[in-house]
Amino acid sequence: THQDKSEAEKARDLKRKQLQAKKKATPAEPQAAAKVTEANLDIGDAYTGFRLPLPVTPEGARGLLQHYLMNGDNDPLHPKYVNYLTTQFTQLYRARHPKPVVYTDTPKPGRIIVVGDTHGQLADVCHILYHLGAPTSQNKFLFNGDMVDRGPYGVEVLLIVFAFFLSDAECIIVHRGNHENEDMNALDADAGGGFTDEVMRKYGLMAYRRFVSAFKVLSLCSVVEKEIFVVHGGLSRVASMSIDYLNSIDHTEVTTPHPTAVDIKDQIFSDLVWSDPTDQNGKFKSERGIGIKFGQDITTKFCMQNRLRFVIR
């Protein structure tokens, strides 16, 4: 009858219910990391590389940072540590920040440091963390996406970020950029990608799949002190876009929606990680084929509608 749902609608409803049931059935508890120790991880005596104390402590995270500063990827972390860091980060970050928008305040006393694209540049990340201090609850870092691809050390950059988060969930917020995305990762490094090849070379396919799972829980944007909007890409094609509406997006099913997605929330999701500002007022199609270009007038309107002072991207 006219009131009956179509088969396609029924399938979408079933998929949505299955996803919701899966999320409820596998809650990520903040104490999960404490259940694993170095002993029951069973690294073995043959491994002579860096030993990461488990559960991860601030001292252990700083030790990992120092290890990578001295060795780069010449003395790789044991695969079981990599598995532990990626899996635990995915569970605990999803529990800590289940929605796409993070609301946060500046620590008092303290500060928030926003870090832009690092693109696998380990030396840059080490320089930033040594120059500005390691992440703590009073020295909070917000990594604003694009931590991988192009550069050769995306794995090491992520493992440092994951370790500090596991040592203190108050010290780091991690945003998704357009390169925390399988399609971009699959490109050659010379074409702007390279992360898939990097992980496959260092740790194999299963490790890459765990990194992708981590990408799917990363936040899309943050509101700092109720007045500063931080996002990797930019604003959306939607005329009146509230922060509450952004927070209703399901951001954990895919790393980034398909470029031809027609669902409005998928389009907004893509805009947040792909859009770019332009000097001209108005909104325009992007030559990237995804996201938009937005002018100063669009930024001003968005800030006025949401009572924000400015946007960081």
Give me the active site residues, please: 179
- Crossing angle of the two packed helices 205-215 and 195-202, in degrees rounded to 10: 130
Greatest Cα pair distance in the chain: 69
Distance in angstroms (rounded) separating the CA atoms of residues 18 and 109: 44
Contact 153, 73 (CB under 8 A): yes
Question: Where are the alpha helices (H) located in the chain, listed in sequence order?
Answer: 7-25, 38-41, 58-71, 79-96, 122-132, 154-167, 182-185, 195-202, 205-215, 243-246, 264-274, 296-305
Q: Which residues contact 3 (CB under 8 A, 6 or more apart)?
A: none
Q: Tell the residue number behind the tokens 């946060």, with chain if given.
A: 104
Distance in angstroms (rounded) separating the CA atoms of residues 297 and 164: 38
C-alpha pair distances (Å), 13 with each of 10, 258, 264, 294: 5, 20, 18, 34
Contact 126, 247 (CB under 8 A): no
Distance in angstroms (rounded) separating the CA atoms of residues 233 and 176: 9
